[in-house]
Structure 1
Amino acid sequence: MFAKGAAVIQLFEEWVPKSLAVEDDKIGLQLGTLQKEIKKVMVTLEITDEVIDEAIAEKVDLIIAHHAIIFRPLKHLQTDQPAGKRYEKCIKNDIAVYIAHTNLDIAEGGINDMMAEALGISKTKVLSVTQTEPLLKLAVYVPEEHHDKLMHAVMQAGAGHIGAYSHCSFNTEGIGTFLPEEGTKPYVGSQGKLEQVKELRLETIVPERKLKRVVQAMLKAHPYEEPAYDVYPLKLEGKPFGLGRVGKLEQEVTLREFNEVVKKAFDVPMTRVVGDLDRMVRKVAVMGGQGARYMSSAIFQGADVFVTGDIDYHTAQDALAAGMCLIDPGHHTEQIMKSPVAEYLHRRFQEQGYATEVVVSNVQTEPFQFI
């Protein structure tokens, strides 16, 4: 059985929900339809003519990319122009295009975490917070003998995390009453008779983005035909999400030595570096793509060096004046996302019993040559 396009994206967005993206980001379905069977998905950083040709040769139904194929509003669609040719080629070959940009940057385990891990940065924090996830309280009433099964189900679905603690809940005993009316099939009791049952009220905390999955798990594990439960908001700050990461290397190294680590981690032949190459660095900020405007955040958080792409001349001058080191390995370092995204989708398809295949684009999309 192959997954429908909508099912593919539902699984993907459990990791990188659209709600994480910054305002007005160009994400989501940009070409084609998801209302079709998906036999093969291709993951790529961006979509060039060569990537589309590769997708056609591979008989791909859906491309998932990080960089938008449609970035600016379309004033026309001329198929004799470069962009128009790409759109036409995708449409004629029934290839849908879905974009995950800043939501993939920001998500836990997303591009910025991938880059930090590749550089050996540990104990990371968000560099620039864009939002704090709302927290909700779920309270559900369940017969005592089914309490453990239900609690395990909701915790497995993502409830019950407070900081570094999991399976957090509070449980109180009580008596539940109900009268099964005509047409019901009660788990306990019979139609027309008021029942009293010893129940436990299980309370636990749920991140808003996981509520649907947690409630579905609760309903599936609950023995009652019509479970009673409450969901209400909390005035507590949840997990912070945002762009970039900042953390520490295992030990101090010179800027020169760390630059070699960057080149190897991102497979680039050269970088642009700002700062004294013999300076010792340990605290590192990193951001995929173009992060120059977040240099002040890196300085504020005490980073010794900021690794990001597309550093402009004036930002470099400002960094020198502020005593901040910079390493620019280019924008294309974000290609680090291809294999992890493909691996995630492959695992989720296997879990769901889908035969949908996932491939990684082998096309080199770096526009620069280093001579």
Structure 2
Amino acid sequence: MANGQQVIEQFETFAPKKFAFEGDPIGLQIGTLNKKVKRVLVTLDVLESVVDEAIEKQIDLIIAHHPPIFSKLPKVTDQSAAGRIVMKCIKHDIAVYAAHTNLDVTQGGVNDLMATALGLTDTTVLVPSFENTLYKLVVFVPESAVEEVSKALGRAGAGHIGAYSDCQFHTTGTGQFKATAEANPYVGQPGQLEHVKEVRIETIVTELNQKQVIRAMKQAHPYEEVAYDVIRQELTAPSLGLGRIGRLEEAVPLKTFAEQVRSAFGVENLRFVGDENRLVQKVAVLGGDGNKYVSTAAFAGADVLVTGDLYFHVAHDAMALGLAVVDPGHHVESVMKQGVVDLLTERFEKQNIKDVELFVSETNTNPFQFL
């Protein structure tokens, strides 16, 4: 059975805290991760009704996109919703962990999930905020262990170049070492100079996955002391950031596209700005409140921006810029629930983490109703 730290460690290899914007209250917000975790609930929001769902399902850990504690609580009592949430979670030993802007920014996170739901292709980052540095990892492995170490590197995420995975280069040579009296060498005897046929494996890792790849490599490597190098590269991986911009397979009228957005996100109603007959093909998407990025989307050449919480005067600004806007609401970020469950399921299988059940929250946290 996994503990809370192991679960969050796997999650943070996907959406590390370093990706979050300054001041964003992410991470563990309630309870402890130093405990066994059998059941995890993934939710967009942590409302009291979500905590009740977690209690009913005997959840040990809630992973949320929106932090339940966004500012300091002056007191924790049953007289406020926030206080009741904290009290219920502590009483039932439910930890709450939040991943907000780091989940927006990361590859495969909220904005990529939204772009995928809309069928966008050739997507790039709309608002870059983090440069993912590339490193070359070089490790020397005895011939008998090459296959095991090579597979461990690939499983941990090393060797991704464009549309290719498991990229490595192997060269054969001779390693030399002398073990001290305190050593327990995999090959040879202490005090003797040894020469061993070894394979030099070269692969690429990123700043995002470097630590987990090195850890997996060391676990698979038979030597007590592993010889390896990590070399920063001049090239960088694609930048990360808020929003995505891509293309539909074919241009469609704005009204048709708005209907596609409504269907993709399962919303009852939405708002849109622009001529309903205008053809749109280049689409920007930004989960949550995207009011600050209307001009960014327009200058990036988007025909239409899909975002939430559109202000009245910002809608006027968009019209002046010639940018159509479709507002399906803030709540469409709930695509992250199934996305995070799928991600963790895959990571748990690769890391052989068993006996952890993952649940998509069934509680509707959208505060709006429509007449």
**Cα deviation, residue 148, structure 1:** 4.7
The answer for the alignment partner of 1:267 in structure 2 is: 266
AA of the residue aligned to 2:7: V
**Cα deviation, residue 350, structure 1:** 5.0
| Count of aligned pairs | 370
> What is the TM-score of this pair, normalised by structure 2?
0.93
Change in Cα spacing, 1:237 to 1:349, as seen in structure 2 (3 Å) is: closer
The answer for the alignment partner of 1:5 in structure 2 is: 4
Aligned equivalents of 1:347, 1:290: Cα separation in 2: 30
**Cα deviation, residue 127, structure 1:** 0.8
Aligned equivalents of 1:59, 1:215: Cα separation in 2: 35
The answer for the alignment partner of 1:323 in structure 2 is: 322
Change in Cα spacing, 1:126 to 1:85, as seen in structure 2 (3 Å) is: same
Aligned equivalents of 1:137, 1:339: Cα separation in 2: 33
Q: How does 1:177-256 map to 2 (within 5 A)?
A: 177-256=176-255
| SS of equivalent to 1:181 | coil
Aligned equivalents of 1:247, 1:318: Cα separation in 2: 22
Aligned equivalents of 1:267, 1:147: Cα separation in 2: 49
Aligned equivalents of 2:162, 2:173: Cα separation in 1: 29
| SS of equivalent to 2:359 | strand
Contact 1:289 1:309 (C-alpha < 8 Å) held by counterparts:
yes
> What is the TM-score of this pair, normalised by structure 1?
0.93
AA of the residue aligned to 1:16: A
Aligned equivalents of 2:349, 2:152: Cα separation in 1: 20
Q: Please list every run of 5 or more consecutive structure 1 residues that lacks an aligned counterpart in the other structure.
A: none
The answer for the alignment partner of 1:370 in structure 2 is: 370
The answer for the alignment partner of 2:63 in structure 1 is: 64
The answer for the alignment partner of 1:108 in structure 2 is: 107
Aligned equivalents of 1:23, 1:175: Cα separation in 2: 48
AA of the residue aligned to 2:163: A
Contact 2:243 2:285 (C-alpha < 8 Å) held by counterparts:
yes
Answer with 220-229 or 88-97: which moved more: 220-229
The answer for the alignment partner of 1:354 in structure 2 is: 354
| SS of equivalent to 1:74 | coil
Aligned equivalents of 1:349, 1:144: Cα separation in 2: 29
CA deviations over 1:285-332 (Å, ceiling 9, x no partner): 001100111112211221100000001112111111110000011101
**Cα deviation, residue 156, structure 1:** 3.1
Contact 1:46 1:66 (C-alpha < 8 Å) held by counterparts:
yes
**Cα deviation, residue 198, structure 1:** 3.7
Answer with 294-303 or 308-317: which moved more: 294-303
Aligned equivalents of 1:192, 1:298: Cα separation in 2: 66
Q: How does 1:113-124 map to 2 (within 5 A)?
A: 113-124=112-123
**Cα deviation, residue 347, structure 1:** 4.3
Aligned equivalents of 1:327, 1:153: Cα separation in 2: 44
Change in Cα spacing, 1:41 to 1:172, as seen in structure 2 (3 Å) is: closer
State the percentage of identical aligned residues: 51
**Cα deviation, residue 349, structure 1:** 4.2
CA deviations over 1:196-244 (Å, ceiling 9, x no partner): 2343433222112212222223223333332211123223322311111
| SS of equivalent to 2:15 | coil
Change in Cα spacing, 1:239 to 1:47, as seen in structure 2 (3 Å) is: same
**Cα deviation, residue 146, structure 1:** 4.2
Aligned equivalents of 1:370, 1:328: Cα separation in 2: 14
Aligned equivalents of 1:169, 1:356: Cα separation in 2: 32
Change in Cα spacing, 1:148 to 1:353, as seen in structure 2 (3 Å) is: closer
1:97 to 2:96 alignment: yes
Aligned equivalents of 1:149, 1:82: Cα separation in 2: 52
Q: Please list every run of 5 or more consecutive structure 2 residues that lacks an aligned counterpart in the other structure.
A: none
